[in-house]
Amino acid sequence: MTCPNGLGHGKTVYERHRLWSADGTWERLLQQVQAAADAAGEIGWDISVDPPSCTWIMNDSLQGTH
């Protein structure tokens, strides 16, 4: 794997990503960035739901066929 200058060898980057994913580092970073952006009014928390997809998922789970 080739990485941009300053990031290190590809195997090192992969190992860091793997370890940080496993120990929750990425999740904590995401939460902190989202909290800061939300506090600054930079995030719109609108949710879009596709009703036909939801109906299919709910019906599928209720029938135990998934």
Q: Which two tokens stand for residue 49?
A: 């739901």
Q: 25-39 and 10-22 are packed helices; what angle lies between their axes, rounded to 10 degrees?
A: 80
Q: Which two tokens stand for residue 54?
A: 């939801």
- DSSP code of residue 1: -
Separation CA 21–CA 27 (nearest Å): 8
pLDDT of residue 63: 57
pLDDT of residue 46: 77
| pLDDT tens digit sequence for 7-58 | 788 888 899 999 999 999 999 999 999 999 999 999 887 777 766 665 555 5
